[in-house]
Every structure is written in C-alpha cells, then in structure tokens.
Structure 1
Amino acid sequence: MIVTDILFYIFASLAIISALVLVLGNNPVNSVIAMIFTFIFTAAVWIILQQVYLALLLIVVYVGAVLVMFLFVVFMLDLHVEKEGRVGRFFYALAAVIVCAIFATIISYAVTHVFAGASMQGGVGGLKIIGSTMFNDNNLYVFELIDFILLAAMTAAVTLTLRPKRKDNKSVNPSKQVKVRAKDRLTMVKIPSNKEGAKDGQ
C-alpha cells in the first residue's frame, strides 16, 4: 500500500467522522464547524484522486462563502440547546451504529467489487482539460452571454438601492438624531378628564 492510499483512507475516515458529528450534534455551531471540516476532508480526498478543480471549487464556494455565512447566522441567532435525556442519547447511539454499519458495508463492497483492478486516470479533473473544454470555440459565446447577464443583474441591484430624493421619501439624518435632546423628544400635554368636561358642559 502506497502513501496516497494511506492518505486517502485517513481523509475519508475523517470526513465520515466529521459528517457523523454534524448529524448527531446538538449544538448548531459545532454542527456547522463539523460541516466545514467535512468539506475540507472531502476536498483532500479529491486532491488525492487528482480532481484539483473540484477540490478548490468546494473549498472556495462552500467553505469560503456558504458555510461562513451559515456560521455567522448561527452566531447571530439566540439558540437555546436543550439537554437530551437518556432515551434521546440511546436513539442517537443506535443511529450512529446503523450509519457506521451501512458505511462499512458500502466501502467494503466498493473496495472488493467496484475499485478492484481499476486504474486511476489522472488529469480528468485538471484545470487544463476543464479550461480547454469550457473555453473552446463552441462555448466561448455562451460564457460571454452569461457575463452580460450577470452584469445586467448587478447593475439592476445597484440601481434599486439608489433611490432619488423626493419630498415624500422617508429618510433618517444621523447628525440630527445625535443633536436631539431627551426633553425635545417628549412633550407633556394635559388632557382634561371626563369630570372636568362634564362640568364645562353644564
């Protein structure tokens, strides 16, 4: 067994363990962090399989953008984690055993039947092959059209935020808010009661 095979099994095992922590965890912050590690270990497996483009895409798009946003949202929310009883822990442990058994069965079947005698073809997911396929003469105009569509969407989003100043527009002036004093915000008005109004009517 060569070094790449050892690294493959190590990163694959770590990805499975972090995925189990993601599913079985009670704390949402720990679950998001476990998902980040799952994607990182999966990207390492893809790099070992010489799929560099997919690995970089997974790290940049999901880990660098989506999961960081998820983690920020989870930190902003006020989540109260309730303690699980013994029954809940038992079902979690039973689910973990079942999932591990299923994964072990799938991996053993894949190693003995699917990957037996199969040779790894390097360069299938390389940047050179993907770039030459995507940016050839047939797909170049499609990418140019997509660029114009994205530019139009970005221009429309910026235009919607720029509202012209009108008299009926409601806006806030921070400098005026800072200068306002407490006594200027509240005015005490004395309203006559019903008895006083009745006496005035008589």
Structure 2
Amino acid sequence: MTPYDVIVPAGGAARRLGGADKPGLTVGETTLLDRVLAACTGAHTTVVVGPARPTARTGVRWTREQPPGGGPVAAVAAGLDLVTAETVLLLAADLPFLDRRTVDRLATALDDAGPAVQAAVLVDAGGRDQPLAAAYRTAALRTALAALGDPAGLPLRRLVGGLPRLLVADTDNVAYDCDTWEDLEQARERDRG
C-alpha cells in the first residue's frame, strides 16, 4: 500500500449539538477524536485541524483553518499544507466506529483503482457517500482547491464532488457519525452492546 497521510477536520461549530465540543465527547471511555486517531495509526502524518487538545495519541500535528470555524474546505486547505504523501485520507472527527481495517481498505482501494480515479469514498448502508471517510489523491485535492479560490464557508462536496471516484461499501457499518445528541446516545448504546 502506498504511504498515506490523514487530515481530521475537528474545528466545526457542532450546531446540532448546541455548540458542544464534538471531538471531545465520549463513546465508552474514549473521545470521538481519540477513536478516529486510533484508526489512523498507519498514516505517515496525521493532521488534526481544529483547536489543540489532549489526545491519547502522540505525534499528531495540529493546525487551524482560516478563519477558525471556516468550514470543511478551509480545514482541508489548512491540513494540506502539512501533507506530504501522494494519498491523503479525510476523516471526520465524529466517527466512533472507524477502524484501521477500513482506513487501510480505503487507501488500498485508491491504490488499486488506477490513476484515472482520484478518490475512494466510503458509502454507508443507506447509499450515501461519505466524503469525510475517503481517500484522495493529494494532487487532485490541491488542484480542486486552487480552482475554488477562497475556501472559507464552502461545502466539502464543492471541493470533491467533481473528482472521479470509486465507491467503497461500508461493510462494517463504521461510517456512523454523531451529529446530534440522539446519534451520540445511539453510538453509546451500540458501543455498550
């Protein structure tokens, strides 16, 4: 497998959670952010874009999007400044069931897809693609970002939606994210079960 880097956007406003520090919320005894970072141990460089906070994982690089809270495309722009690998995974900070196997599956799928494919994107059980659970060719992201201009406030699909992609089935149901208090409680119940 080609070496890869990871960008974890973790600076959002969590509006549906009333502004709570979403990456710092816990499922089991572990924060959402630490759960995602545990799945990324195979990365050459792991970049978290958001306010620095204590984590169980060492060696993480921290940066901030401009302006702070500027959205996912601004987070990708900030993270790309620290990325050196030809492949980069974008992974949301609120995926409590993400695992190393899935991260490696995404990176390998992109490797195996050939140069015409620019992204390998996880697709959840409902058929929705998850652009923040995906592997991308770094050069393609940089090119798409340059074409957008100012990234602040732009939706992620505007950046990645036009990239030729391979859809990867979420066979282990790890694309579950925690956007609401109900989502978080369901994740906690699943974790206990």
Compute the TM-score of the two structures, normalised by the length of structure 1: 0.23
Larger fraction in strand = 2
Question: What TM-score does the superposition give when structure 2 sets the normalisation length?
Answer: 0.24
